[in-house]
Structure 1
Amino acid sequence: MSAETNPPVSLPDPLVIAETLREITDTSNRLMNSLLQRRLDGQAVAYSDELGIGQAFLEMSGKLMLDPFRLAENHLSLWRDALELWTSTCTGALGLRSVPVIAPSQGDRRFKDEAWNEHVLFDFIKQSYLLGARWLQQTVAGVDGLDERTARKVEFYTRQFIDALAPTNFALTNPEALREIYRTGGESLLKGLRNLLVDLERGGGGRLAIRMTDPDAFELGVNVAVTPGKVVFQNAMMQLIQYAPHGKTAWRRPLLIVPPWINKFYILDLRERNSFIRWAVQQGHTVFVISWVNPSAEYAQRGFDDYLAEGTLAALDAIELATGERRVNAVGYCLGGTLLAATLGWLGAAGDERIASATFFTTMIDFSEPGELEVFLDDVQLSSIEKRMERAGYLDGAEMATTFNMLRANDLIWSFAVNNYLLGKDPFPFDLLYWNSDSTRMPAKMHSFYLRNMYQKNLLREPGGLNIAGRPIDLGRVTVPVYFLSTIEDHIAPWKSTYLGAPLFGGPVKFVLGGSGHIAGVINPPVARKYGYWTNPVLPADSGAWLADAVQTPGSWWDDWSQWVEAHDAERVPAREPGDGALPALEDAPGSYVKRRIT
């Protein structure tokens, strides 16, 4: 074993151990007292299968038992794999070369530690886990007589179970954790326990809120969301930020950015080096951004109509007052893009052309293939969500975050659990993960409308299928130029699903596919020189056919978008300072709405 594998032992400082134990004791007492008080107050929640997970597995088990030959064949296959693994392990233990029976997938970073390959015992543990995982997935997959929705639910939650049982998630079967315990004389375990208790206390009510980053490392307006600007308009739903110009002239049409209200807008303005907002200002755009309110229970009856009337439409009116320009270029990101599409349909119903061009970042408009999110969207689970929203007036942002994190549990849940609890390390300061942890709530009426009418009924794609703010929405009547940006590894808005929305518009559409995922593929500044993107001037019905004939270009799609939007706005005007128009500056960017955190 190398010196890397056998680090020198460092006996912990007794004073540090004493202080850590004191913190653990104090936190444990507070948690136990809180949980006891909740039980005395009748707040403890008994187990119920309100999401229908138990029912789905019960149905799967019943169907599986009706096919004993298939079940026996699966067991026999596992036995053969186990025998082959034992033979391979014995060969390796004798110092002879052996071929692995199974290997982690290429993107699986859990087993990157060298001990998983070099040490016979850990290699055996790794392969045993992978074989068991494969067997379990094959057993529950394709059970005869199971409807497709139930089958997807079973497969998804089986994967959650498998991910949770990975040997990397336990101290005694994680070589990196064992080395850290040895190196620190056990202090890492104490620090890990302290971190676990702190996260339990942060979550409240027995919920574990795993820290992905250091929450004290960032401050809005200080080291994130620092592009200079002013709030020039606000109402109950949003603040509108106008950013200071970069040069003496700007493009005539202002640029309105509509971010999702599932998250806060500053994903587009994290740091100077990766801020899309700052970059757009530098390209000569007069940039306006909607900063949505983080709603409380008072917003329970605010619906999709309110987000349109007091969001996008109010922003268009305010921009005209601030700049004197009636027509704008607009960008919508994710759910903000869905709202932008509805806004275009609403304006199109009256022949209103205030939005001259529209850009969609990773936006679902046709929801017929929502990807793995469909697991959470059956009638049983939607009814459960609606009941919780009815009680609180909103859907808690932490619940939304957990849902998205489960789509990539190993990367977004278990990797942080290992770092914080098994290794006893503090989370690394990372601006993107700070933003990801800055959750927002969803008003009950709006979110129920969105889930039912968009995801479940898929009415936005139907001409006149939705009536929003008094007008039927028909995207076919939208004839403005459209730029569609999706990303090839997106797990929230899969690109083949977003592609289905592009042909719904009645005007010219350019579809562009960026590299990476839902966030990194969008926040991809040209200076990074990462990922690349695909373009194809033709929009065939099949997304696979589009990609087969697409041309890949290195670098960032930002430059491609800049050329596209400027081709539709060739006139320059004197730069506009926030507050110089008919709207006075109310406060400095990023404003006060974005600073309202969930506690």
Structure 2
Amino acid sequence: MTTNETLPETDRHKLEANLARVEELTQRLVDAIARRKPINPALHGPEPTLYAKAMQAYWQEWAQNPAKVFENQVGYWGKSLGHFMEAQQALAAGKLAPPEDTGPKDRRFKNPLWDSHPYFNFIKQQYQISSDAIRDAVEDIEDLEPTEKRRLRYFAQQITDMMAPTNFFATNPDALQKAVETEGASLVKGMENLVADLEANNGELIVRLADDKAFTIGENIATAEGAVVWRNRMMELIQYSPTTEKVHETPIVLFPPWINKFYILDLKPENSLIRWIVDQGYTLFVVSWINPDESYRDIGLEDYIEDGYLTALRLAREICGTEKINAVGYCIAGTTLALTLSLLKKRGDKQVNSATFFTALTDFSDQGEFTPFLQNDFIDGIEAEVNATGLLKSFIMARTFSYLRSTDLIYTPAIKSYMMGETPPAFDLLYWNGDGANLPGRMAVQYLRGLCQDNKFSDGTFELMGETLNLRDVDIPLISITAETDHIAAWKDCFRGVQKMGARSKTFVLSESGHIAGIVNPPNKKKYGHYLNPDLTLPADEWQKTADYHEGSWWPVWEAWLRKRSGKKVAARQPGDSSHPVLAPAPGTYVRVKANQ
């Protein structure tokens, strides 16, 4: 009698259907992977020389201080052997239970079986012992340059994160339990999710973080009322509709980063910074950048400044009939706003009344968590990639940022989607995070080489548009908003850049939370507080230590600062005018262009 004949009729049909589905999905999986276009191998990891240097330093340590090396090795062997013997003794005594000490807590191992089941507990504890040994081995290597040590530390952590037992079906109790409970249906659904992600990204495995069917731009996300009043090859300029009868005379032009879409500032009404600014009585213009294709390969920072910044500033002044503008730059757009202000200073142009920087780096002397990716082997790989394709593609940047938080942004979502068969959540922030943008090849290299690697703007040697730009030229009133746990634009690095700016009037705000939540922090949530300290001559740590802590959002602090620099109240302005007609309702057309098109 066959296995199928021993099953009830309904279960047999279900099994046959699942097997047929798996066969179909397997073929689609093979087809999707076959369409993958390989990228430069240098973008996958460091040159072998890093590991060669580490091995050389390790052997040198062995020769000079063998006792220390032996001590570490014997310590690891002893812990592993002791762990094994405890398990063996429990089995020999017929006690199928984990030891009393079930190991340190780790949120990856929150399933109770990691502590209560001897098999899973043994695997967990051995993984933690091995991870500690790798970490200790890296830290004990002394004859290695600090930058190389930092890179080695990062890549060693990537290896241990990748080898976590939660990442494998046979050693993940959540996945095993789900498969049993669903009679294998969760595995079929997980394979469907895997194949769908591969097919959506031309064979590249990019884990989908949010349900992309749950959101439609302009319908339930990015819904603030306004209109596109100008469009060129680089951007659409959106003017938002007033919600007050009177507005401040001086308008605001907000430049979001072109690495992502602008609607992070307009996810939904209750956390929309765009809506909040308009509700405070300001005329607000927001730039929506083009999502470039291969034809933009020769577009550089000068094009973003000329056809983006300078054009948007000019148009806002023309539409509002003012001589001055208050400018805002977020992340890389804040960096480029500083470049623009230096250029205007060189030209004797005083049209910008004040500048606001959101999590904007201008001094790259400390590369922070990006150190592993800002060395020549990686940048050479990126340069080769953009020379071949014309673009730094969105998925390459997304992968780089994700690996800085690989457990949260890669492995945990992959486990839920591919092993557990769960549908990604309908989470607007994660939807936005997955809606990335490409970077023009030339601009990417300018930024990575001239600013990130060589730090020429801070050093006063960055040449652009016929001028030598200098961070000290940023001498208009400014306010910098940073975030305490920001791993992209570390607040201490932002602080150092502000210290070098030439303005007499400088305000620095440190918000709690990170790169996104620290900025998208509406007052009604009463969630994250902020620090203020007028003494910017202090070292960063001392500045925070002596700062005043305030509960709640920094938004009202910024508005009070901005109000003093925004002039008298005038009648509210509707989007556009006779010379700048409405071209499309907000959020416009450029924001809808996907990176993989």
What TM-score do you get using the length of structure 1 for normalisation?
A: 0.91
Paired position in structure 1 for 2:52: 58
Q: CA deviation at 1:20?
A: 5.2
Alignment match of 2:196 (pick from 198, 218, 236)? 198
Q: For the residues of structure 1 that align with 2:117 and 2:51, how far apart are their CA atoms? A: 37
Paired position in structure 2 for 1:81: 79
Gap regions ≥5 residues in structure 2: 1-8
Query: Residues 361 and 522 of structure 1 are in contact (CA less than 8 Å); yes or no, is this contact kept in structure 2?
Result: yes
Q: For the residues of structure 1 that align with 2:12 and 2:595, how far apart are their CA atoms? A: 37
Q: For the residues of structure 1 that align with 2:130 and 2:99, how far apart are their CA atoms? A: 24
Residue 211 of structure 2 aligns with an amino acid whose one-letter code is D
Alignment match of 1:137 (pick from 114, 135, 138)? 135
Aligned length: 580
Residue 217 of structure 1 aligns with an amino acid whose one-letter code is A
Paired position in structure 1 for 2:359: 362
Matches within 5 A, 1:359-438: 359-438=356-435
Distance 1:16 1:466, change over 3 A: farther
Q: For the residues of structure 2 that align with 1:163 and 1:223, how far apart are their CA atoms? A: 36
Query: Residues 362 and 486 of structure 1 are in contact (CA less than 8 Å); yes or no, is this contact kept in structure 2?
Result: yes
Query: Residues 222 and 267 of structure 2 are in contact (CA less than 8 Å); yes or no, is this contact kept in structure 1?
Result: yes
Encode CA deviations 1:392-432: one digit per residue, 9 max, x unaligned.
Answer: 01111010000000000000001101100111111111111
Tell me if 1:98 matches 2:100.
Answer: yes
Residue 178 of structure 2 aligns with an amino acid whose one-letter code is E
Query: Residues 28 and 195 of structure 2 are in contact (CA less than 8 Å); yes or no, is this contact kept in structure 1?
Result: no
Which range is displaced more, 475-484 or 160-169? 475-484
Q: CA deviation at 1:535?
A: 1.0
Residue 98 of structure 1 aligns with an amino acid whose one-letter code is E
Which secondary structure does the structure 1 equivalent of 2:458 belong to? coil
Query: Residues 98 and 116 of structure 2 are in contact (CA less than 8 Å); yes or no, is this contact kept in structure 1?
Result: no
Alignment match of 2:451 (pick from 451, 454, 457)? 454
What TM-score do you get using the length of structure 2 for normalisation?
A: 0.92
Matches within 5 A, 1:153-172: 153-172=151-170
Matches within 5 A, 1:101-140: 102-104=103-105, 108-140=106-138
Residue 537 of structure 1 aligns with an amino acid whose one-letter code is P
Paired position in structure 1 for 2:496: 500
Q: CA deviation at 1:321?
A: 1.6
Q: For the residues of structure 2 that align with 1:192 and 1:503, how far apart are their CA atoms? A: 50
Q: For the residues of structure 2 that align with 1:169 and 1:477, how far apart are their CA atoms? A: 50
Distance 1:44 1:440, change over 3 A: closer
Query: Residues 309 and 469 of structure 1 are in contact (CA less than 8 Å); yes or no, is this contact kept in structure 2?
Result: no
Paired position in structure 1 for 2:6: none
Q: For the residues of structure 2 that align with 1:17 and 1:437, how far apart are their CA atoms? A: 35
Paired position in structure 2 for 1:467: 463
Q: For the residues of structure 2 that align with 1:561 and 1:245, how far apart are their CA atoms? A: 19
Residue 492 of structure 1 aligns with an amino acid whose one-letter code is I
Alignment match of 2:267 (pick from 266, 270, 280)? 270
Encode CA deviations 1:134-176: one digit per residue, 9 max, x unaligned.
Answer: 1101112342322223222221111111101111112222222
Q: For the residues of structure 2 that align with 1:19 and 1:333, how far apart are their CA atoms? A: 51
Q: For the residues of structure 2 that align with 1:373 and 1:296, how far apart are their CA atoms? A: 26
Tell me if 1:552 matches 2:552.
Answer: no
RMSD (Å) for aligned C-alpha atoms: 2.5
Query: Residues 88 and 98 of structure 1 are in contact (CA less than 8 Å); yes or no, is this contact kept in structure 2?
Result: no
Residue 72 of structure 1 aligns with an amino acid whose one-letter code is F
Residue 550 of structure 1 aligns with an amino acid whose one-letter code is A
Alignment match of 1:479 (pick from 475, 479, 482)? 475
Q: CA deviation at 1:188?
A: 1.2
Paired position in structure 2 for 1:150: 148
Query: Residues 256 and 287 of structure 1 are in contact (CA less than 8 Å); yes or no, is this contact kept in structure 2?
Result: yes
Gap regions ≥5 residues in structure 1: 1-10
Percent identity of equivalent pairs: 37
Which secondary structure does the structure 1 equivalent of 2:158 belong to? helix
Residue 486 of structure 2 aligns with an amino acid whose one-letter code is D
Query: Residues 115 and 123 of structure 1 are in contact (CA less than 8 Å); yes or no, is this contact kept in structure 2?
Result: yes
Query: Residues 232 and 241 of structure 1 are in contact (CA less than 8 Å); yes or no, is this contact kept in structure 2?
Result: yes
Matches within 5 A, 1:434-445: 434-445=431-442
Q: CA deviation at 1:523?
A: 0.8
Which secondary structure does the structure 1 equivalent of 2:253 belong to? strand
Encode CA deviations 1:281-328: one digit per residue, 9 max, x unaligned.
Answer: 111111100111111111111111111001110001110121111211
Distance 1:37 1:160, change over 3 A: closer
Distance 1:17 1:585, change over 3 A: farther
Which secondary structure does the structure 1 equivalent of 2:191 belong to? helix
Which range is displaced more, 239-248 or 343-352? 343-352
Tell me if 1:566 matches 2:573.
Answer: no
Matches within 5 A, 1:221-240: 221-240=218-237
Paired position in structure 2 for 1:175: 173
Distance 1:33 1:580, change over 3 A: closer
